[in-house]
Amino acid sequence: MDFQARLAALTHELRPWAPLWSRSILQGWPESGAAYPGDWLAHARSLDEAGERRLDHGELVGAPPPSLSALMGTLQELTALPWHEGLHPLTVTETQGLSAKKAHELERVLALLAPRTGFIHQAVDIGGGMGHLARLCARTFGWTFHSIDRDAALQDKGQRWLAKTRPQGGDTLNFIQASVEDGLQPRIDPLFSGRDRASIGLHTCGPLALTQLRKSQGAGFVLNIGCCYDKLEAPRDFPVSRFGGAHPLPFTPHALALTTRGRHHKSEEEFARMKRVYAWRFAFDLLSRQRFPERGFVRAGDAPRTLYDGPFAGYARDRLERLGLDANMTDAELDAFEVSVRAETRDLLLCHLLRDRFARALEVVLLLDRALLLEELGFQVELLQLFDPRLSPRNLALIASRGA
């Protein structure tokens, strides 16, 4: 894939829309809503529940404004990435105790590694947790494997697991408890260097992915799957490539948070639930602005699930109490308030549905920049979709190789 052309085209498309994707809708309301073109909002307002749900899936229905359909079509094209096909089936014993998500991921990672790593003899897993991947790689490929994690308790659990399932002849797996940091670390740095060494990071949170890539410049093979992009800081962590530096985007903490949204297709029930959660949150925000304007934006936080099933008053009372506020309103008045702001809370929802259209494109931009960093370091690079996003939404794998 021509990563440069893809990044240039995506950043060119996204830049003019930065006022939409870089700001929080709720915190900047109502000014934030003014960034949404009037014909987009008018179209969104015309949708029934089924149409809203299709918009949430990235589909337009009816007669959408040409600027919206053109943008969505282009973003869909520019975020399309090849899939890695195939899996390495695990035995019942191998999957014992693993979640469906973890087993799904491991079967695909092993299948991806098998044809690409014939020249590898040693590997290191950064943020390896309990060492499931390390254990399976050591047994499948016969590699000497070092699983590094800063969490000693997780590694202890992994050691016990290993002891229970140790095959005849033993394992070639070592746990190293260490925090992997940028800068020199003489104890662990040599593990990342050598043409017969693979460096692997499966769901490396935030900037840990970048630490892995930088430490692995001398490795023969690198696999990184990132997550928690909201833990990144721009400009420290984006752009990281020279080419990305020439095609910057204003990544704010709100934009980074947008890249971490789960984007699987929601069932009717899941969509209805999301709408209810948003409706209560937005109405509470409008209530607190009206009653406590001096408090500015008030973070309502996550309420117990059951509170979204009942009337607004129950939810609002719980949140007010948690925040130490007294609105001096009866339940009937709280419920009547919610009804009175429904047109506004629906607009807030529609703006969110429209803003979510940018999420995947922003995530792909972050990964294209990382792919370009690896190319600039001399690797041959692939960027593939590896996991079913319904099970594991952070499903993009960066694969870099120097060959034999």
- The closest of 132, 149, 130 to 93, measured between CA atoms, is 132
**Per CB under 6 A, 131 contacts ligand SAM:** no
Of 148 and 383, the one with the shorter C-beta distance to ligand SAM is 148
Whole-number minimum distance, CB 151 to ligand SAM, in Å?
4
Site string for ligand SAM, 82-121 (x = CB under 6 A): ----------------------------------------
336 contacts 301 by C-beta, under 8 angstroms: no
**Per CB under 6 A, 26 contacts ligand SAM:** no
Q: What is the dihedral of CA 312, 314, 320, 321, to 10 degrees?
A: -170
Contacting ligand SAM within 219-278 (CB under 6 A):
227
13 contacts 78 by C-beta, under 8 angstroms: yes
Cα separation of the two ends of the chain: 21
Instruction: Using CB under 6 A, pick the residue from 6, 53, 129, 398 that binds ligand SAM.
Output: 129
Instruction: Using CB under 6 A, pick the residue from 154, 198, 283, 300 that binds ligand SAM.
Output: 154
Alpha-carbon distance 312 to 332, whole Å?
Answer: 10
Alpha-carbon distance 367 to 358, whole Å?
Answer: 15
Alpha-carbon distance 299 to 282, whole Å?
Answer: 11
Alpha-carbon distance 193 to 183, whole Å?
Answer: 15
Query: Interface with ligand SAM by CB under 6 A: which range of 13-21, 142-150, 238-246, 300-308?
Result: 142-150
Query: Interface with ligand SAM by CB under 6 A: which range of 148-156, 213-221, 240-248, 390-398?
Result: 148-156
**Per CB under 6 A, 150 contacts ligand SAM:** yes
Beta bridge partners of 399: 223, 382
**Per CB under 6 A, 377 contacts ligand SAM:** no
**Per CB under 6 A, 386 contacts ligand SAM:** no
Of 3 and 143, the one with the shorter C-beta distance to ligand SAM is 143
348 contacts 278 by C-beta, under 8 angstroms: yes
Instruction: Using CB under 6 A, pick the residue from 180, 240, 350, 371 that binds ligand SAM.
Output: 180
**Per CB under 6 A, 314 contacts ligand SAM:** no
Residues of 88-108 as b/e, b for ≥16 C-beta within 10 angstroms? Answer: bebeeebbeebeeebbbbbbb
**Per CB under 6 A, 128 contacts ligand SAM:** yes
Of 14 and 210, the one with the shorter C-beta distance to ligand SAM is 210
**Per CB under 6 A, 127 contacts ligand SAM:** yes
Alpha-carbon distance 23 to 267, whole Å?
Answer: 28
What are the residues binding ligand SAM (CB under 6 A)? 127-129, 148-151, 154, 179-180, 202-203, 205, 208, 227
